[in-house]
Amino acid sequence: MNETPDRIFLKLFLQAAVIVMLLSVPMGWIIQRYEGRAGLSGLVTAAIICLAATVISVIPMAVAGNRRSEGRVDDQENRLAMACLLGTGIRLLLTMSAGLVVYLVLRPPMMVFSVSLVVFYLALLAWETLTAVKMIRKQYDSDNTGRSIYDQDETADARRCTPILR
């Protein structure tokens, strides 16, 4: 059963929000202890920027992850791979440009804001990459009939996987 794009998007949004929350608690405690309220404002600003950019960047993944073409399986996986790459590029541009604007306009504490932005960005990048690989693999592993594509030609796969040295 295919999930609708809005359900995929909601699932991805909730996963990203949980990651941001799990990172914010220990980072917030450390920042509150050493930097005070000003440091927490930098942390919250960085968290909002990274979460918003990630939410916008998963839209192409959610839409392409639901599409089933009548053509070859390669077309589906290429479409999904391109959507994932587009989402990553969007997230990079949004995060860096919003971070620059916020820094120039709001002037949060530089060290806390920068480190928080990098931590959130890298954690969400790892999550997004893992999610994209899972979505592409899931789409690659089954064609339109739901059968595994590896079952179609077992002898060719066996020949390809046979070790050279026996």
* Per-residue pLDDT reduced to its tens digit, 30-81: 999 998 888 899 999 999 999 999 999 988 888 887 665 445 555 666 788 8
Q: What percent of the chain has pLDDT over 70?
A: 75
pTM above 0.85, yes or no: no
The answer to whether residue 166 scores a pLDDT higher than 50 is no
Looking at residue 164, what is its pLDDT? 54
pLDDT band for 4, please (50, 70, 90 cuts).
confident
The span from the CA of 125 to the CA of 9, in Å, is: 16
The span from the CA of 79 to the CA of 33, in Å, is: 47
User: Taking Cα atoms as reference points, which of 99, 6, 97, 102 lies closest to residue 55?
Assistant: 6
User: Taking Cα atoms as reference points, which of 103, 127, 124, 122 lies closest to residue 45?
Assistant: 103
Looking at residue 71, what is its pLDDT? 52
Between 152 and 34, the more confident residue is 34
What is the maximum alpha-carbon separation in the chain? 66
Between 152 and 79, the more confident residue is 79
Looking at residue 109, what is its pLDDT? 81
Q: Are the C-beta atoms of residues 50 and 124 closer than 8 Å to each other?
A: yes
Looking at residue 65, what is its pLDDT? 72
Taking each continuous run of H as one helix and of E as one strand, the counts in the chain are 5, 0
Calculate mean pLDDT across residues 4-30: 93
Looking at residue 148, what is its pLDDT? 46
pLDDT band for 123, please (50, 70, 90 cuts).
very high
**Which residue has 């002037």 as its token pair?**
107
Between 122 and 108, the more confident residue is 122
The answer to whether residue 121 scores a pLDDT higher than 90 is yes
